[in-house]
Structure 1
Amino acid sequence: MTAQGAARASRQQRQQQIVDHVLAKGDASVAELTELTGVSVMTVHRDIAELADRGILRKYHGGVSAQPSTVFESSSDFRLHAHTGEKDALARAALDLVAPGMSLMLDDSTTALALAKLLPQVGPLTVVTNYRLITEELRAADDIRLIGIGGEYSRTHDSWIGLSALEMIKSFSVDLTLVSTSAMTGTMTYHQEQEIVALKRAMRLAGSVSVLLMDHSKVGRSALHRLDPVDAFDHVVLTGPVDDEPVAEMRKLTDVRVVTT
């Protein structure tokens, strides 16, 4: 890694630390964040300014507070650095459901991105996605036929969304759809954004077989909008540890696979 790349990774990790701390507490002072990160006050001010500009945190005199969880949970930048080990485990488990010659639809989740990185091992495949990072990952893969879903570009999600994207998704019929979402209980899945709910529902319906990929932190939670009931998915793949009760509820409704990281 170049010195510039190392500095960028260090900044991302530090900003993730700041966001995690502020989300846990609700707010934090500059002095508190300086002590937490071990960097200078000026560096913390720059981090705060960048996070506020991106709509992740709300800046006030002497500190920051958390924006509504919808902003944080939708940010591709920050999802990329959360629960990475669990996403890799989910990707490895999901790969068992993929066979050469299949057509796949992948949503704009960072879990789907982890799977995309493994797909060249399986090819030939056709992959349909609206996530820019997946197209970047697979564009040079010889055995992958790559189809991009177009629409309105969302900087927050780093993907293409909106009515055009929705209509394009509805035009496909693929062998396997793989998606993730923000939250689930033993019987229902949720997402905080109405527009994203519509896209994920359409993706599930576009697949002959649908797979839900969820890390354990999302289980036992809800969000503003109901997405789909658990029994709408043919397979649910979870990382442990997960409470027995919601898993037992899910297993009454569909195939559930719990994997270790």
Structure 2
Amino acid sequence: MLASQRQEHILGVVRAHGAARVADLVTALDVSDMTVRRDIAELARAGLVRRVHGGAVAPDAGGRPTDEPGFEAKRAWAQREKHAIAQAALASVEPGQAIALSAGTTTHLLAELLAAAPALRPLTVVTNSVGAADVLHHAAPGADRLEVILTGGVRTPSDALVGPVADTALAHLRVDRAYLGVHGLDADGLTTPNLAEAATNRALIACAAATTVVADHSKWGVTGLARIATLDEVDVLLSDDGLPADARTAVAAHGTRVQLVPAPAGAPAAPAPPTPQQPTGGRP
């Protein structure tokens, strides 16, 4: 295959899905990692794509700290990784616990798994996600032993309920563990484009005995306007094995346990957002 043909294929994937991963392109084009990276570099020089860690995104994809993609847009990113992370998070939930779920696409997947897991009941779930609450409300048989507490608040583009109403509700609650989705994270901590959502996520962390951040590898290096928390305040980072080695080292240096899961192979390419790009108790 000629370089122009490879680059046309890469550009087609980016235009169709919003992003393309080097690993997926290596398999699809049957060429080396370096060949794919050179092709991406050529497309980036022409202004047709933007290079990010592990692949390429559309040149006009938002990467500013104030950009806040909607729930449906984020849902299409890193699908394989998010499903694997949600499955791993489910394994850490125990019957009889009270847990909290933030808004987000990965936590929404966890809510779907919890709704279909009667063996984990009785269970109490506190959430500021309208979508997660709705999924849990329509749970499988045994829903009478699944208590769902929705915080209330003002709805954001990512379907989070935030603001003083949500913050006050969370201030009066205590849960065993919070599962937190984030817009981005780096060595300085967790961030979101939404100031009010940052405050509500801090309230989620404060009401939990332990906090697990569920974030696929594409979130590393993404920076939002508002800081939610530092890595020192996170007990577990649950991510996929695409998380770069330097990120693993940076997170572990803060005393946060890094748990990585393999992303299932064989699914369609999983678009990623642009980059600028356990049991009850305390820190394990």
TM-score of the superposed pair, with normalisation by structure 2:
0.66
Q: Are the aligned partners of 2:68 and 2:194 in contact in 1 as well (CA < 8 Å)?
A: no
Deviation at 1:249, TM superposition (A): 2.1
Computed over aligned residues only, the root mean square deviation of the Cα atoms, in angstroms, reads 2.7
Instruction: Return the alpha-carbon distance in structure 2 between the equivalents of residues 201 and 219 of structure 1.
Output: 19
When structure 1 is superposed on structure 2, of 93-102 and 65-74 the one drifting more is 65-74
Q: Which runs of 5+ in 2 are unaligned?
A: 1-13, 20-39, 49-59, 264-284
Instruction: Return the alpha-carbon distance in structure 1 between the equivalents of residues 16 and 67 of structure 2.
Output: 12
Richer in strand (by share): 1
| 1:168 lines up with 2:169 in the alignment | yes
Q: What per-residue deviation string (whole Å, max 9, x for no partner) do you get for residues 191-240 of structure 1?
A: 22211110111101111111111100011332222221112111111112
Instruction: Return the alpha-carbon distance in structure 2 between the equivalents of residues 67 and 212 of structure 1.
Output: 23
TM-score of the superposed pair, with normalisation by structure 1:
0.71
Q: AA paired with 2:155?
A: Y
Deviation at 1:174, TM superposition (A): 0.7
Question: Which of 66, 74, 81 lines up with 1:79 in the alignment?
Answer: 74
Percent of paired sites with the same residue: 25
Question: Which of 132, 144, 147 lines up with 2:146 in the alignment?
Answer: 144
Instruction: Return the alpha-carbon distance in structure 1 between the equivalents of residues 262 and 17 of structure 2.
Output: 27
Q: Are the aligned partners of 2:71 and 2:158 in contact in 1 as well (CA < 8 Å)?
A: yes
Residue number in structure 2 paired with 1:45? none
Instruction: Return the alpha-carbon distance in structure 2 between the equivalents of residues 194 and 80 of structure 1.
Output: 22
| 1:104–1:20 distance in 2 versus 1, CA, 3 Å | same
Q: AA paired with 1:258?
A: L
| 1:169–1:17 distance in 2 versus 1, CA, 3 Å | farther
Instruction: Return the alpha-carbon distance in structure 1 between the equivalents of residues 133 and 184 of structure 2.
Output: 25
Q: AA paired with 1:118?
A: L
Q: AA paired with 1:259?
A: V
Give the SS at the match of 2:209.
strand
Deviation at 1:126, TM superposition (A): 0.4
| 1:96 lines up with 2:91 in the alignment | yes
Residue number in structure 1 paired with 2:259? 257
| 1:74–1:204 distance in 2 versus 1, CA, 3 Å | farther
Deviation at 1:71, TM superposition (A): 6.8
Instruction: Return the alpha-carbon distance in structure 2 between the equivalents of residues 133 and 238 of structure 1.
Output: 22
Deviation at 1:157, TM superposition (A): 2.2
Q: AA paired with 1:145?
A: E
Question: Which of 128, 136, 151 lines up with 2:126 in the alignment?
Answer: 128
Give the SS at the match of 1:236.
strand
Richer in helix (by share): 1
Instruction: Return the alpha-carbon distance in structure 1 between the equivalents of residues 92 and 258 of structure 2.
Output: 13
| 1:68–1:91 distance in 2 versus 1, CA, 3 Å | closer
Q: Which stretches of structure 1, 4 residues or longer, exceed 3 Å deviation after superposition?
A: 16-19, 65-74
Number of residue-to-residue matches in the alignment: 208
| 1:152–1:230 distance in 2 versus 1, CA, 3 Å | same
Residue number in structure 2 paired with 1:11? none
Q: Are the aligned partners of 1:186 and 1:247 in contact in 2 as well (CA < 8 Å)?
A: no
